[in-house]
C-alpha cells in the first residue's frame, strides 16, 4: 500500500561525509547521484524539501585547528565554504535527474556569495518551498563555532518544518557504537531529554534543545538504503524518532 505523506515540509540534514567516497574527502559522483535521486523522489512525491549540507568532506574547523597553529575562525569559514561546494553539486545533480520546471532547486547561502547563489532570506526560502522548489541551505549559520547540525535545527525552526530528518550512515540511534559493540541496542523512540541526558553523539546538544523547544521530531536514519528518505517523509517507522 502506498503511504501518504506524513511530513509535508521537511528539513533534511546531509553530512558532507555522505557525499564522499572512500577516504571521506571530496565528492564521489556515484554517492552524489544516489543522494540526489532520493531527494528528487521526495520532491516528486509532493513534499516541501529543504536541505542543509554539511562540509566535513572538505574541512571541519575544530579538527583542522587541533594543533593550535591555525585560527579556528578561519578554519570554520573554510568549512562553511565547503558546504557551498556540496550544495552546488547537489543542486546541479538534482536538476539533471529531473529536468524541466518541475524540479527547480535553489541554493541559499548564509554568507553572501551573490555571483554564485542567493542569500538566505527566511521569507524567500518559504516562498520557494510553497512554489514547489527544493532549497539547499549552504554556509551553515554563517557564524564560526557552530556546526551544520545546529544550523539544521535553526533553519528547520525558521521555516517551520514539520520534522528534521538527520540522514546518517547508521540505521538509528544506539546506546553505544554498533560498529565496535555487537550488543549495541537501537532505540525506536527517545525523548529529547533522554537523547540529551545520554549524551548520544548523534547531534549537538544545542540542536536537540532547539528542536525540543518547538516539539519538532528529529528522525535519525540510514540514508545509504535507497528510498529511505521518502519512507521517513511518509512516516514509515525506520530509524529512531526523537520527540515528546
Ligand atoms: N561551520 C561553521 N558554522 C556553521 C556551520 C559550519 O563554522 O554554522 C564550519 C565548521 O568548521 C564545521 C564545518 O563548517 O566543522 C563543516 O560543517 P560540519 O562539520 O557540521 O559538516 P558535517 O559534519 O555535517 O559534514
Whole-number Å distance, alpha carbon 31 to ligand 1 midpoint, is: 20
Q: Which atom of ligand 1 is nearest to the CA of 58?
A: 16
pLDDT value at position 196?
87
Q: What is the DSSP string of 117-166?
A: SEE--HHHHHHHHHTT-EEEEESTTSSTT--HHHHHHHHHHHTT-SEEEE
Confidence of residue 200 (pLDDT cuts 50, 70, 90): confident
Average pLDDT value for residue range 60-75: 95
Confidence of residue 198 (pLDDT cuts 50, 70, 90): confident
User: What are the cell numbers at 33?
Assistant: 547521484
Arithmetic mean of pLDDT over the chain: 94
User: What are the cell numbers at 150?
Assistant: 545546529
pLDDT value at position 3?
77
* Bridge partners (DSSP) listed for residue 222: 168
Asked whether 235 lines ligand 1 (CB < 6 A), one says no
Confidence of residue 171 (pLDDT cuts 50, 70, 90): very high
| 3-state class (DSSP) for residue 17 | helix
| 3-state class (DSSP) for residue 6 | coil
Task: Please state which of the ranges 4-8, 77-81, 192-196 shows the lowest mean pLDDT.
Answer: 192-196
Whole-number Å distance, alpha carbon 166 to ligand 1 midpoint, is: 15
H or E element: which one contains 168? strand 163-168
Average pLDDT value for residue range 41-45: 95
Percent of the chain clearing pLDDT 70 (strictly above): 99
Q: Between 88 and 205, where is the model more confident? A: 88
pLDDT value at position 121?
98
Per-residue pLDDT of 207-236, as tens digits, reads 999 999 999 999 999 999 999 999 999 999
Per-residue pLDDT of 102-140, as tens digits, reads 679 999 999 999 999 999 999 999 999 999 999 999 999
pLDDT value at position 238?
95
Query: How many other C-beta atoms can be found within 10 angstroms of the C-beta atom of residue 75?
Result: 19
CB 124 within 8 Å of CB 138: no
pLDDT value at position 101?
67
Whole-number Å distance, alpha carbon 56 to ligand 1 midpoint, is: 7
* Bridge partners (DSSP) listed for residue 49: 10
Asked whether 143 lines ligand 1 (CB < 6 A), one says yes
Q: Which residue has the cell 540534514?
A: 13
Whole-number Å distance, alpha carbon 190 to ligand 1 midpoint, is: 25
Asked whether 172 lines ligand 1 (CB < 6 A), one says no
Amino acid at each position: 500500500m502506498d503511504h501518504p505523506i506524513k511530513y509535508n515540509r521537511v528539513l533534511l540534514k546531509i553530512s558532507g561525509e555522505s557525499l564522499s567516497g572512500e577516504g571521506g574527502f571530496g565528492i564521489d559522483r556515484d554517492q552524489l547521484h544516489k543522494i540526489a535521486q532520493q531527494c528528487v523522489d521526495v520532491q516528486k512525491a509532493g513534499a516541501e524539501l529543504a536541505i542543509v549540507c554539511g562540509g566535513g568532506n572538505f574541512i571541519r574547523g575544530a579538527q583542522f585547528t587541533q594543533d593550535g597553529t591555525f585560527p579556528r575562525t578561519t578554519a570554520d569559514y573554510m568549512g562553511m565554504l565547503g558546504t557551498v561546494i556540496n550544495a552546488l553539486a547537489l543542486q546541479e545533480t538534482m536538476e539533471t535527474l529531473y529536468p524541466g520546471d518541475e524540479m527547480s532547486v535553489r541554493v541559499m547561502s548564509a554568507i553572501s556569495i551573490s555571483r554564485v547563489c542567493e542569500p538566505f532570506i527566511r521569507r524567500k526560502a518559504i516562498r520557494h518551498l510553497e512554489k514547489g522548489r527544493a532549497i539547499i541551505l549552504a554556509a551553515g549559520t554563517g557564524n564560526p563555532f557552530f556546526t551544520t547540525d545546529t544550523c539544521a535545527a535553526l533553519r528547520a525552526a525558521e521555516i517551520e518544518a514539520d520534522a528534521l530528518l538527520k540522514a546518517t550512515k547508521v540505521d538509528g540511534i544506539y546506546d553505544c557504537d554498533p560498529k565496535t559493540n555487537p550488543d549495541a541496542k537501537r532505540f525506536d523512540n527517545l525523548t529529547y531529554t533522554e537523547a540529551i541526558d545520554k549524551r548520544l553523539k548523534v547531534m549537538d546538544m544545542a540542536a536537540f534543545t532547539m528542536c525540543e523547544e518547538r516539539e519538532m521530531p528529529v528522525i535519525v536514519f540510514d540514508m545509504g538504503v535507497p528510498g529511505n528518505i521518502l519512507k521517513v517523509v511518509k512516516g514509515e517507522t525506520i530509524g529512531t524518532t526523537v520527540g515528546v
